[in-house]
Amino acid sequence: MGSSTALISLVIATMAVALSLITMVVQRRQQQREAYRGLYEVLMSEQLQRGRWLIEDISETGHLPEGLSPDLYLVYRTLGWFDTLAMYDQRRLVPRRWVLDVWHHHLRDMKTAATVMRDHRLAGGQEWAPWPHLWPLLDEAVRYRSGMPCCWLETMAYSQLQSPGQVSSGDEPGSGPATIQRAKSMLVKTVHGFRSRRDE
């Protein structure tokens, strides 16, 4: 009788611990979602959307807005918020998959601009690199391929690059924007060739 009571008590205690762990996991996930939602609302605000467009323009042209101008301030503010997103990501305070699935293309587009602005600050005498949390996330975004339609073209293009005879020794598909463009160009040629043969 005593052993049965002890066994039942052990089972109940084990179930209580398991339930507590499950509750903790659920609460943590809910906290991550709420934290991400707050950041997302800020990053999708009208002002920071304009900041992203300015950053993408810097990536394309290499030219910074005029010193002390509202546009330059907005670019710094936008990069600061993405650095905050990266910090939350590194500390697992937001769902990592959500961060990369939603923002990987935007992060790729801003990497060149962030590098230009960092180098400009360092050349001006600043002794520390800005946005310390952002750089690893930018690098990861370049390599990241989601399962969503936005990346289907790139995935198909890389399969073309990896075909026999398409990649020379030492090439590493997926290493940067130039490779992405090369892969897309190869895929477009393949599609055009297929259409030409179909129309003959």
pLDDT score at 156: 64
Buried b vs exposed e over 117-149: b needs ≥16 C-beta within 10 Å? Answer: bbeebeeeeeeeebbebbbebbebbbebebeee
Q: Is 140 in the same domain as 196?
A: no
pLDDT score at 92: 93
pLDDT confidence bin for 28, thresholds 50/70/90: confident
Q: Is 70 in the same domain as 138?
A: yes
Q: Is 43 in the same domain as 136?
A: yes
Instruction: Count how many residues are written for the chain.
Output: 200
Q: Is 140 in the same domain as 155?
A: no
* C-alpha distances out from residue 163 to 33, 153, 158, 167, 186, Å: 40, 16, 9, 7, 11
Average pLDDT of the residues in 2-27: 78
pLDDT digits (tens, 9 = 90+) for 160-181: 555 544 444 444 444 455 655 6
Domain range spanning residue 195?
146-200
Q: Is 91 in the same domain as 131?
A: yes
Q: In the listed set 126, 144, 162, which residue is the last one of a domain according to the structure?
A: 144
Tokens of residue 11, six digits: 């089972």
Q: Is 135 in the same domain as 198?
A: no
pLDDT at position 70 over 90: yes
Residue type, 68: L
How many structural domains does the chain have?
A: 2
Q: Is 97 in the same domain as 150?
A: no
pLDDT score at 177: 56
pLDDT score at 158: 58
pLDDT score at 184: 57
What contacts 94, CB < 8 A, 6 or more positions away?
32, 35, 36, 39, 85, 88
pLDDT score at 93: 93
pLDDT confidence bin for 42, thresholds 50/70/90: very high
Q: Is residue 11 part of a domain?
A: no
Q: Which of the two residues, 109 and 188, has the higher pLDDT score?
A: 109
Task: With H, G, I as helix, E, B as strand and everything else as coil, classify residue 80.
Answer: helix
Q: Is 136 in the same domain as 152?
A: no
Q: Smallest Cα–Cα separation from 178: which of 163, 157, 159?
A: 157
Q: Is residue 2 part of a domain?
A: no
pLDDT at position 105 over 50: yes
Q: Is residue 127 part of a domain?
A: yes
